[in-house]
Amino acid sequence: MKKVFKSISESLFKELKSDEDVILSFSGENSQFIRFNNASVRQTGLVDDADIELKFISNNRICGGGFTISGNMEIDLARGKHEIERMRNEANELPEDPFLVLPKNLGSSNVVKEASGLKFEDSIDAILPAMSGTDFVGILANGKMFRGNANSKGQNHWFETDTYSLDYSLVTSNHQMVKGSFSGSDWNQDEYESYVNRSKEKLSLMERKPIKIKTGDYRTWFESAAVSDFLGMFSWNGISEASLRQGCSGFGKMRHNDARLSPKFSVIEDFSPGYCPKFNSDGEVAPDELALIEAGKLKNTLISSRSAKEYGLQSNYAENGEFLRSPRMAIGNLNQNDVVKELDRGLFLSNIHYLNWSDNPGGRITGLTRYACFWVEGGEIVAPIETMRFDDSFYRFFGDQLSEVEDRLYSNPEVGTYGGRSLGATACPGILVDSFSLTL
Amino acid sequence: MKLDVDIKKLLSAIDVPADWVGLREVYEAHTPRMIRDGVPVVNASASTHGIMVEVLVNGQFGYFGTPDMTSQGISRAAKKAFKQAEIASRHSVHSFDESARPSHQGSYSSPFEKDRDSLSAGRLNEVLLEAYNHLKVNDKIVSASSLCQVIESNFKFVSSNGSDINQDFLMFEFDLSATAADGSNQQTRTFGGMRGTCRQMGMEYFDKYEIFANANRIGEQAIELLDAEDCPTGEMDLVIAPDQMMLQIHESIGHALEVDRILGDERNYAGWSFVKLEDFGKLQYGSKLMNITFDPTLESEFASYAYDDGGLKATKEHLIKDGLLVRGLGGQESQIRSGLDGVANFRASSWNRAPIDRMANINLEPGNQSFDELIAEVQHGVYVESNKSWSIDDYRNKFQFGCEYGRLIENGKLTKVLKNPNYRGVSTPFWNSLKGVGNSDTFGIYGTPNCGKGEPNQVIRVGHASPACLFDKIQVFGGV
């Protein structure tokens, strides 16, 4: 794939006139998808996909294009040249863009992660036997992913990785579920079977009759996966500088009213684990680390180069959408072994579901409990709870109601496959909150 | 640049001992344009083009989605799909035969008057800039945007049992947005978001709708909301405008009736359903005023079509009649697995995803009350327009919605403007509290371009049309 991208990009750059620039962004995959239900195969298949997005810049105007890479160089070059010509003509008609960011050559990179992964023809036999006797439902996404970027100034970036993720649920006879997500690069059958066995052990707790909880405020423990979902909301009308400037960020109280979160709450953008490329779709390379919230105070927002130019700021090379790509939350002091005892009486929430802003300026988020969520009393897990809706503000649960933070980080991989397989992960601990509001 | 592909020739070149083979070619081009704060921020056009090769082997379907549309590429894809299916056939959820892909021949072209090129990129930017100028009614508007997107799609489907289908679509999306802010007090008003205008139509949209007048109204309402009272909290009557009804239908009816969800396929992702297979024909889903249809025939609605992606012919069907659940959203595979009657809704987002049960156009049929008659029935309540927040549980029971714009209803009349109107409820009690359905004058056609579902994930276009509706004793509340 790298050779294909290099050949296409070099050929297309030759098509440009002296006052024209192009940025090319490449995304591709050779993937296997197997969908399971009732510990059997519902759908199975393979997808080869690759696309190039183009940004054509001329005379202070910018125009975008994109096409599918077929793998046939003659066809792909014809498509690319057609796009250049189309954008060249269209750019003449467009208004000037005063915040246009011109490409530069700030150096190139090449990251290729080889792996001894799960062979496509072996996947089903590797996965299903360990799930025997369970109501197993989920998806295997397996294979190579590619990202590339090149511009007409000579800059080139390439990122290639080979990964698998088995994202699944085990379901009890009374419709309670345990969630699992086994992912990595090198496949290890023993590790996989141990992981599945731990999921099966959790199922026994879920066999207890679920308890119906009343609405109200509860002391609550959130496992890392739930915290990761809350942090994900920061990428949607949250930590983006453009969102703040355009009046649609939940971080407005921190920016305008100097509101603070808990001193125990810190978040950075951290590219050092290499979950995803450091370069963005304009080929700009982010710093290894960027402090966002430091001891409860808003330290930095995500600033793309376009926002920087528009608002007179310094870019930190965020992606154009100014969303988190590799966030890491700081750990605290609470040990997992002490969580239930420390919680004493309240809710133990492993996963949450379908989050949305219910009052964005107020930082209020609504959503639902899902999977292994329990009622705890006297420092003991009593039983799973029936699904409950919550509606509360992150200014409370990451703020004055944040009691303790776990002393360990967990990596929550991005397993989304809209359009194509996602890269990235959120590293965060669990949190204990004094009061959390259930509303329905 | 769309490559011409002879898909029938490609089918004939496939040489695998499968029980059935199908090819589904998809070409789709998106052309979005956007002006934000007086400046062009998006002018792009990107296309995707590929073929999904699907084979049936020992009762199991296997697929290979490929952009290599040469005969060698398709032949190679078929061999790999065959191998996938063969291995999986020892562990199939269900053993299918050729009846899962009925044979049909036909075509569909979505209606339009003016094609994409009838308005140049330059002219479109001028129109969007003018709309922006009308949105920015004063300096309290801190950000405003106007955008449109043209989508052109072509779906072709041929199969070894004789299916030969060609469907062409021209679609148009449009929105206006104004945000007023005073420090951390901020309110956004839109033209319904991308769900407000998404239709099968062409550039004639600009001739038919008063864009600049609407832009002015949206800007003024954003300012109005900034200083408006917060929505009251309590149990009260609720009148919902069609542009919010569409999402209420989508979340608490559409997804709940997808038969693949009921069969458990989706439990690891979007979730299950409170509806059980035995509920069809028995469950009183809502009040007698409630009539919900699957209607792929409504002209210009976003998800109208003649055939689904399994080749099944699409017809209008009642899902809920006089409040009684009568039919599910199950395509041919789900109909075979469940034994239930279904509809032609086996759909895929593109050539790189396999079809699953999806909504298409799911509509609430009009009743007989005018808008004024609905409002006149309310002594104390709230009227809401335009969704801004949505959430529902994995069984499609407990929902919560937030809207952009509310009005208090007092003694049968609309009075104060309200900000942050929210409401919550549980699906079947909510629909059983339906006590007024607006007539065809209140009927609006909407949809969503980005309904997410499936593993691997897929976004798909869905249409929803509804009149304004009145609900009894709903939990309503405001902001922080």
CA distance A298 to B42: 30
pLDDT in tens, A301-334: 999 999 999 999 999 999 999 999 999 999 999 9
pLDDT of residue A424: 93
Summarize the confidence of residues B120-140 as an average pLDDT: 96
* Chain B CB contacts of A387 below 8 Å: 393-395, 397-398
B88–A contact, CB cutoff 8 A? yes
In this prediction, residue B75 has a pLDDT band, given cuts at 50, 70 and 90, of very high
* pLDDT at A41 (0 to 100): 98
Which one of A25, A36, A44, A215 would you mutate to disrupt binding with B, by most B Cβ within 10 Å of its Cβ? A44
A393 Cα to chain B: minimum distance (Å): 8
Q: Which amino acid is at B262?
A: I
Chain A contact set for B85 (CB, 8 A): 44
What pLDDT, on a 0 to 100 scale, did the predictor assign at position B185?
86
State which amino acid sits at residue B101: R
Residue B23: closest CA among B153, B156, B168, B161: B156
The length of chain A is: 440
The percent of residues in chain A predicted with pLDDT above 70, rounded, is 100
Contact B180 A247 (CB under 8 A): yes
Q: Amino acid identity, residue B463?
A: G
Residue A119: per-residue pLDDT: 96
B chain contacts of residue A69, beta-carbon cutoff 8 Å? 67
The two three-digit tokens of residue A90, written as one number:
């269209």
Nearest chain A residue (CA) to B85: A44
pLDDT for B260 equals 98
Please name which of A134, A141, A127, A186 lies closest in space to residue A34, comparing C-alpha atoms: A141
% residues pLDDT > 70 (chain B)? 100
**Neighbouring C-alpha atoms within 13 Å toward the C-beta of A12:** 37
List CB contacts of A12: < 8 A, sequence separation 6 or more.
A22, A24, A54, A77, A80, A81, A84
d(CA B278, CA A300): 55
Mean pLDDT to the nearest integer, A49-57: 98
Rounded Cα distance, A359 and A366, in Å: 9
CA dist A440 and A213 (Å) reads 10
Mean pLDDT of A170-183: 93
**Closest CA relative to residue B40, chosen from B131, B141, B118:** B131
Q: Is the peptide bond before B111 cis (omega within 30 degrees of 0)?
A: no
Cβ contact B383:B403 at 8 Å: no
| Assigned token pair, B112 | 């339009």
| pLDDT recorded at residue B194 | 86
Pairing of strands B346-347, B356-357: antiparallel
Spatial contact of A284 and A320, defined as CB atoms under 8 Å apart: no
Residues in chain B with CB shorter than 8 Å from the CB of A145 are none
Averaged pLDDT of chain B: 97
CA proximity to A208, closest of A344, A389, A386: A386
pLDDT computed for residue A188 by the predictor: 97
* φ, ψ at B7 (rounded to 5°): -70, -30
Question: Is B63 close to A43, i.e. CB distance below 8 A?
Answer: yes
Mean pLDDT of A135-148: 97
Separation of alpha carbons A376 and B35, rounded Å: 52
Mutation target to probe the B interface, by most B beta carbons within 10 A, among A79, A358, A364 is A358
Arithmetic mean of pLDDT, B395-422 = 98
Which residues of chain B are within 8 Å of residue A165 when distances are taken between CB atoms? none
Q: Does the beta carbon of A100 lie under 8 angstroms from any beta carbon of chain B? A: no
Q: Is A400 helix (H, G, I), strand (E, B) or coil?
A: helix
pLDDT in tens, A105-125: 999 999 999 999 999 999 999
Q: What pTM was estimated for this model as a whole?
A: 0.97
Q: What is the mean pLDDT of residues B208-229?
A: 95
Long-range contacts of A79-86 (CB under 8 A, 24+ apart): A79/B1, A80/A8, A80/A11, A80/A12, A80/A15, A80/A52, A80/A54, A81/A12, A81/A15, A82/B1, A83/A54, A83/B1, A84/A12, A84/A15, A84/A16, A84/A22, A84/A54, A84/A56, A86/B45
Residue A433 has pLDDT above 90, yes or no: yes
- Kindly indicate the confidence band of residue B5, based on its pLDDT and cuts at 50, 70 and 90: very high
Whole-number pLDDT of residue B94: 98
Residue B480 clears pLDDT 80, i.e. is over it: no
Q: How far is CA A48 from the centre of its chain?
A: 22
Mean pLDDT of B108-134: 96
In the numeric block, which tokens belong to residue B350? 């593109």
Query: Does B338 lie at the interface with A, CB-CB under 8 angstroms?
Result: no
In chain A the first and final C-alpha atoms are separated, in Å, by 50
Compute the average pLDDT of residues B400-417. Answer: 98
Please name which of A299, A218, A264 lies closest in space to residue A428, comparing C-alpha atoms: A264
* pLDDT tens digits, A370-386: 999 999 999 999 999 99
- Which residue among A32, A42, A63 places its CB closest to the CB of B93? A42
Residue A59, exposed/middle/buried by CB under 10 A (0-12, 13-18, 19+)? exposed
User: Left, alpha or beta for B234 (phi > 0: left; psi -120 to 50: alpha)?
Assistant: left
Q: Does B122 touch chain A (CB under 8 A)?
A: yes
Find the residue in A nearest to B182 (Cα).
Answer: A247
User: Tokens in use for A198?
Assistant: 């731990």
Any B CB within 8 A of A126 CB: no
Residue A396 vs residue B207, higher pLDDT: A396
A391 versus A173: the higher-pLDDT residue is: A391
Q: What is the mean pLDDT of residues B206-217?
A: 91
Q: Determine the residue among A12, A46, A393 to mutate to test chain B binding: the one whose Cβ has the most chain B Cβ atoms within 10 Å.
A: A46
Distance between CA atoms of residues A286 and A269, nearest Å: 9
pLDDT, tens only, A265-307: 999 999 999 999 999 999 999 999 999 999 999 999 999 999 9
Cβ pair B165, B105 in contact under 8 A: yes
Is A231 at the interface with chain B, CB within 8 A?
no
> Cα–Cα distance between A12 and A129 in angstroms, integer?
50
**Band of the pLDDT at B1, cuts 50, 70, 90?**
confident
Interface of B with A in 126-185 (CB under 8 A): 129, 142-143, 179-181, 183-185
Q: What is the 3-state secondary structure (H, E, C) of chain B?
A: CCCCCCHHHHHHHCCCCCCEEEEEEEEEEEEEEEEECCEEEEEEEEEEEEEEEEEEECCEEEEEEECCCCHHHHHHHHHHHHHHHHHHHHHECCCCCHHHCCCCEEEEECCCCCCHHHCCHHHHHHHHHHHHHHHCCCCCEEEEEEEEEEEEEEEEEEECCCCEEEEEEEEEEEEEEEEEEECCEEEEEECCHHHCEEECCCCCHHHHCCHHHHHHHHHHHHHHHHCCEECCCEEEEEEECHHHHHHHHHHHHHHHHEHHHHCCCCCCCCCCCCCCHHHCCCCECCCCCCCEEECCCCCCCCCCCCECCCCCECCCEEEEECCEECCCECCHHHHHHHCCCCCCCEECCCCCCCCEECCCEEEECCCCECHHHHHHCCCEEEEEEEEEEEEECCCCCEEEEEEEEEEEEECCEEEEEEECCEEEEEHHHHHHCEEEEECHHHCEEEEEEEEEECCCCEEEEEEEEECCEEEEEEEEECCC
Contacts of B429 (CB under 8 A, 6+ apart): none
Widest distance between CA atoms in chain A = 74
User: What are the chain A neighbours of B355 within 8 Å (beta carbons)?
Assistant: none
Provide mean pLDDT across the span B258-273. 97
**Shortest alpha-carbon distance between residue B262 and chain A (Å):** 12
The pLDDT tens digits for B155-190 are 999 999 999 999 999 999 999 999 999 877 899 999
Whole-number average pLDDT of chain A: 96
Please identify among residues 404-433 of chain A the ones whose CB lies closer than 8 Å to any CB of chain B: 416-419, 421
Chain B residue numbers with beta carbons less than 8 Å from the beta carbon of A47 are 64-66, 352-353, 456
Phi, psi of B214 (to 5 degrees): -65, -35
User: How many angstroms separate the CA atoms of B155 and B106, rounded?
Assistant: 12
Residue A77 scores a pLDDT above 90: yes
Q: Do A45 and B47 touch (CB under 8 A)?
A: no
Instruction: Say what the pLDDT of residue A205 is.
Output: 87
Mean pLDDT score, A59-83:
97
Report the 10 Å Cβ neighbour count for B276. Answer: 11
Distance from CA of A374 to the nearest CA of B (A): 17
Long-range contacts of the stretch A297-301 (C-beta < 8 A, 24+): A297/A254, A297/A260, A297/A261, A298/A251, A298/A254, A298/A255, A301/A239, A301/A240, A301/A241, A301/A244, A301/A251
Q: Which residues pair with B419 in a beta bridge?
A: B230
Q: What is the pLDDT of residue A265?
A: 98
- The answer to whether residue B424 neighbours chain A at the CB level (below 8 Å) is yes
Question: If phi over 0 gives left and psi between -120 and 50 gives alpha, with beta otherwise, what is residue A381?
Answer: beta
Q: A402 CB near a chain B CB, below 8 Å?
A: no
**Residue contact A167–B93, C-beta within 8 A:** no
CB contact under 8 A, A416 and B457: yes
Q: What is the ipTM, given to two decimal places?
A: 0.96
Instruction: Check residue A34 and give its pLDDT.
Output: 98
